[in-house]
Structure 1
Amino acid sequence: MSLTLVQAWKQARQRLEAAGLAGPVIDARLLVEAAADATRVDIVTDPQRPLTPDQEQRLADYLQRREQREPVSQILGRKGFWKLMLAVNDQVLTPRPDTETVVEYVLRDFPQHAPWTVLDLGVGSGAILLSVLAERPAARGLGVDISEEALAVARDNAASLGLAPRSVFLRGDWTTGLADGNFDLVVANPPYVATDVIETLEPEVRRYEPRLALDGGPDGLDAYRRLAPEILRVLKPGGRFAVEIGYDQKVAVEALFREAGAEGVHTLPDLAQRDRVVTGLKKPLETSG
């Protein structure tokens, strides 16, 4: 006898609970919805709808992969971030709610209809850049990443969201080759995990996410040492920056940006009230009285 939607959800939840996974209720629902071509509303309003044999097999495959700690986002090939649904794979970091703190800052401080320019360093899936462009229709953006595979994901996301005309993606080593004073805003979510900490992370991260996007060197600060002066270089006078940090890196990263000449440097908390985003600006041009 075929499983119904509600039976499939219950059994999937029990299986993930038995595997000791965090968040089994949500994971089970997402996997059932994807396997059965169903929605959350379908599970509530039509719980006795049977799964086809192909759908049951697909769900079994999904659950086996999740038991092996493969992230749901990679199993399904997509992840929600801000107001967007983004394609993801094992070549990019899975976008996380913490990173939405960067988007919140940008949308608060940058006018909706002004034609300003944004640079996203280490663009990955395009999560930050595309979320900003989707909310600011007059803005244009450049995303840079050293990984051509990551750039392919970002380009596909830009195209599927209708944002390709206002976004460009280039392979590069941070700001190398970019001219001085070109951008109103620079954002980045650089690698900030100390090398010897990576092996202590959850399997979903250490096994399935690109080490290039995680490894911040011996103390996790290698990227910031390079980025602080370079971000100030490519910003226009008065331009702003917002970079994600690890929860314990506020003092060190703020110091690096102040040493590079940034003004107004401070740190914003994420929803869990952990230090998450260091912001500031490049000194504006002097104006005559």
Structure 2
Amino acid sequence: MSPDTARQTALRAAVAQLQAADIPSPLWEARHLLCDLEGITPTDIIAYPDLPVHHITQYQDWVALRASGVPMSRITGRRNFWGLEFHVTPATLDPRMDSEVLVKEALALIPTDQTCDIADIGTGTGCLILALLHDRPLATGTGLDISIEALKTAQSNADALGLSGRVRLVESDWLSALQPQSIDILVSNPPYIVQGEIQHLDPAVRDHDPILALDGGTDGLDAYRAIIETAPKVLRPGGWIALEIGWDQGQTVPNLLNKAGFLRISCHQDTAGRDRVVLGQKPDTTALKKTLGKDRAKG
């Protein structure tokens, strides 16, 4: 193709290439790549099909990458999550729709008219903590990650969304950077893939998501143990923990929470009906003591 290749011509060639590679929705994907690269809308393509593609060589490269199986977000460097756009880098997990269930369930625990301190363990792009802060203007948050590069990505996303004033991003091994009884809600999408199963994952995940964000140890529960063991120390009385889980962890993770003394444990499903999020509440011993005191006084 020449440098002045028309939009409709470039798009038609891209669709054929993606279709030959068995990429789902080849027209949508080819159009999305073209619009993202050229800074135009699908309507612009329809209205002005004969205008040239200004970055035709790069567009062809992008289409070739997608045809080879590279995820869209790894090509464009962007992913939409909870209606917000997030910058994605090799140091971060690619935000996925399944994790929106975690945001939804956590938001249900946060009053709209009260302040709230939220912590996100293994924040990556910051998609969880930033989505929560976006929808709860009175909340403040802390995003923790062991990866400096991931924290840089989260910071760029916080800046772009205008939320950097309400979130601090800290290098931390699990919850070690959090003060005792300083958090109202703890959220995390920790690594939960069993080590021996990583090689069998979809190449889009296995070859492009960072291994630190996938490897859950020999039984997939290492991260949950580390988080749940420390969570009672950093949560305030009555505080909540909200964890994304693998489809087959709807019993094992609640069992860990139960053993750690959490109450009101519940499991919630994603749109496909698979177990996806587990909630648990730290007992409010202060409230319990007050209730017991009142009962004794009545007696």
TM over 0.5: yes
How many residues align? The count is 287
Is residue 65–residue 75 contact of structure 1 (8 Å, CA) maintained in 2? yes
- Determine the structure 1 residue equivalent to 2:23: 21
- Determine the structure 2 residue equivalent to 1:171: 171
Instruction: In structure 1, give the amino acid aligned to 2:191.
Output: P
Q: Secondary structure at the match of 2:108?
A: helix
Q: Secondary structure at the match of 1:28?
A: helix
Q: Does 1:243 align with 2:229?
A: no
For normalisation by structure 1, the TM-score amounts to 0.95
Instruction: In structure 2, give the amino acid aligned to 1:70.
Output: V
Return the index of the structure with the highest Cα Rg. 2
Q: Secondary structure at the match of 1:250?
A: coil
- Determine the structure 1 residue equivalent to 2:193: 193
Is residue 170–residue 177 contact of structure 2 (8 Å, CA) maintained in 1? no
Structure 1 stretches lacking a partner, 5+ long: none
Please list the CA deviations of residues 219-241 of structure 1 after superposition, one character each: whole Å capped at 9, or x if unmatched.
11111112112122211111111
Please list the CA deviations of residues 149-187 of structure 1 after superposition, one character each: whole Å capped at 9, or x if unmatched.
100000111011110110001001001142221111000
Shift of 1:50: 2.7
- Determine the structure 1 residue equivalent to 2:109: 109
For normalisation by structure 2, the TM-score amounts to 0.92
Is residue 263–residue 283 contact of structure 1 (8 Å, CA) maintained in 2? yes
Is residue 35–residue 56 contact of structure 1 (8 Å, CA) maintained in 2? no
Is residue 6–residue 51 contact of structure 2 (8 Å, CA) maintained in 1? yes
Q: RMSD value over aligned CA atoms? A: 1.5
Shift of 1:69: 2.0
Shift of 1:196: 1.3
Shift of 1:23: 3.8
Is residue 263–residue 280 contact of structure 2 (8 Å, CA) maintained in 1? yes
* Percent identity (aligned): 38
Structure 2 stretches lacking a partner, 5+ long: 295-299
Q: Does 1:132 align with 2:170?
A: no
- Determine the structure 1 residue equivalent to 2:282: 282
- Determine the structure 1 residue equivalent to 2:57: 57
- Determine the structure 2 residue equivalent to 1:33: 35
Q: Aligned partners of 2:6 and 2:219: how far apart in 1?
A: 51
Q: Aligned partners of 1:43 and 1:281: how far apart in 2?
A: 51
Q: Does 1:208 align with 2:228?
A: no
Q: Aligned partners of 2:216 and 2:24: how far apart in 1?
A: 26
- Determine the structure 1 residue equivalent to 2:297: none
- Determine the structure 2 residue equivalent to 1:226: 226
- Counterparts of residues 58-77 of structure 1 (less than 5 Å): 58-77=58-77
- Determine the structure 1 residue equivalent to 2:90: 90
Please list the CA deviations of residues 228-276 of structure 1 after superposition, one character each: whole Å capped at 9, or x if unmatched.
1212221111111111000111100010011001101111111111110
Shift of 1:72: 1.1
